[in-house]
Amino acid sequence: MIILGIDPGMAILGYGVIESLNYDMKLLDYGAVTTSSAMDTPKRLLKIFVSMEELIQKYSPDAIAYEELFFNQNVKTALTVGHARGVAVLAGARQGIDLFEYTPLQVKQAVVGYGRADKQQVQSMVKLLLHLNDIPRPDDAADALAVAICHTHSSRYGRILGVDRK
């Protein structure tokens, strides 16, 4: 199963692509889609959408996993990131790909085993689980890989328990 993990963002949208092979995971690709704040919002959203479609075409993922948005204070930032997340979700939905979302707590629990893990712990576990020499950069790409790993674990245990999580 090929999983595309997404860490939504307007300036930086992290992505990570892994292949789940039984009880092992193989890294296929990771990176970030970046947009400049000097660009108009519609052009930034179009760039994210087109980039997502290119990733989907290149890797033909079986599932796309997104991190849910979590913001305490800044409503404007939440709305902006929500727009970016929306076009990323739309790109997957247009292709009929199974879409899943996970909270930051669920991602940390799945990757580290502790829902209150810090960013460094999550990144170190991503490196370890994917047999990498270095922690993926930028941080958004490492976060996206963590979301993909979370989906791998979630779908695996769902199958064991008879819950259809693909």
Q: Is residue 44 part of a domain?
A: yes
Q: Is residue 139 part of a domain?
A: yes
pLDDT of residue 61: 98
Is 7 among the residues known to form the active site?
yes
Q: Is residue 86 part of a domain?
A: yes
Q: Is residue 8 part of a domain?
A: yes
DSSP string covering 68-121, please? PP--SS-HHHHHHHHHHHHHHHHHHHHTT-EEEEE-HHHHHHHHHS-TT--HHH
pLDDT of residue 155: 75
Q: Is residue 120 part of a domain?
A: yes
pLDDT of residue 161: 42
Below-70 pLDDT ranges, the chain? 70-73, 156-166
Q: Which amino acid is at 37?
A: S
Is 40 among the residues known to form the active site?
no
pLDDT of residue 73: 67
pLDDT of residue 156: 61
Q: Number of structural domains, the chain? A: 1
CATH code assigned at 130:
3.30.420.10
pLDDT of residue 104: 93
Q: Is residue 166 part of a domain?
A: no
Q: Is residue 68 part of a domain?
A: yes
Is 140 among the residues known to form the active site?
yes
Backbone φ/ψ region at 46: left (φ over 0), alpha (ψ -120 to 50), beta:
alpha
Q: Which of 40, 67, 101, 134 is catalytic?
A: 67
Burial class, 60, CB count within 10 angstroms (exposed 0-12 / middle 13-18 / buried 19+):
exposed
pLDDT of residue 66: 96
Domain that holds residue 138: 2-161
Q: Is residue 55 part of a domain?
A: yes
